[in-house]
Structure 1
C-alpha cells in the first residue's frame, strides 16, 4: 500500500506542474497492486453497477470512500469505462471528497480523476473541491466536522478559500494601502468560509479542538487567517 500511495502522490505532483502530460508519461500503479486491481476488476466486470445505490443511498465508490478503501476505489477505476461515477453528487449534496475517510482514499480518488481526465484534471478537481453540499460545506469543511485533521491538510490547498487566505496574508504583510485593501477582502473571505449555519471553517475547527490533530488546523488559521 505504501508503494501505491507513493505512486498516487507522485501523480498529483506531476499534474500540478503539467495539466496535460502525454499519456505515456503518466505514472502507473506498481505491478503488485496492478495485478490485484486487475483481478478485482475482472471479478467485478459485469456484476458491479457503479451507479447503483445501496440501502444507505451510496454508490460503490461513495461506500468505498467512506470506508477509506483505496484498493476498492482503484478496482472501480480499472473496470470503469468513464470517470462519470467519480463526479457524481451523492446524498446530502456530497461529492466523493466530502466523504473520503483518509489520505489513502483521497489519493485514489484523485488518481482516478487524473486517469480519466488527463487534460481536464485540474478543472474537475477544482470544481469538486469547491463544491458545496446541502449544508453549504466545502469538502474540507465537512472533513473538519468529521474530525479528520489529516484530510483538512490534504484538501485545503485545492480550494479557492486557501488561495484567498494566502493572498490576503501576503497583502497584510506588505502593509500600507495594500494592507488596507486586504482588510476589505478579508471580510469577503469570512463570508466564503461560512456554511449555511453561519459558522466559519476556523470556528468549526475550534469547536472540534479536542480531536487529535485538530490543534494543528486551529494553529493554521491562527497563523494565516486569524480574522476567521
Structure 2
C-alpha cells in the first residue's frame, strides 16, 4: 500500500472532474495530509490518481547535488499523479494541510465503460503536463530574477487570486526552488516589485499579495 495512511476510508462518488476524466462514475477515497507529508515518492509504482480538494501540493525532484527542484504546484481542483510510465518521476508532498481525493488508476484507465474516452482524457492530461514542463524550462531560462518572479506571479494570479487578493500557500523557499533561484534573490525581486508599486503585501507572512499594476508586471513577462 503506497498511500501514507493507516487505513483506507470509505469510498464515495468522485468529483465531476475525476468522473469526466474516466468517462463514467468512479469512486474515490479522501485523505488529509499534514504539512510536509509525502503523498507519493519518486520511482514508486503508479497506483492512484489524485485530486487536490483543499490545500496545495508540490511535485519535485532531488538533484544530484542535494538541491530540490520543484516542477509544479497542484492547487484545489487540480488532478495530479497522471504520468505516461509505470512509476512516478517526481515526489509529491503537501505544502500545507491538504485534503486529497484519490482513486485507483485502474478505475479510470482500465474500465470497459468509457475506456476510449478515459484514454484520450488521460493523454490530454499527460500532454498538458508536458506542456507545463516545457513552459517551466523556458521560465528557468529567463535572464533575470525579476522576470522569473513576475512570470510566477502572473501564473498564480490566474490560479489563486480571489476578491483581488492572491493568497500563496507556498513560502519563498518553495518559490525559489520552483524558479531555480536563491531565497534571498526571490525576496529581493519581490521587494523591488513592491518598491515600484506593482504589488503590495498583506500581513506579516507576506503570502497575501495584491497586484496593483498587472500591466507593468506583464511587461517583465515578454
Q: Please indicate the TM-score interval, normalised by the length of the shorter structure.
A: under 0.3
Higher relative contact order (CA 8 A, sep 6+): 2
More strand by share: 2
TM-score where L is the length of structure 1? 0.26
More helix by share: 1
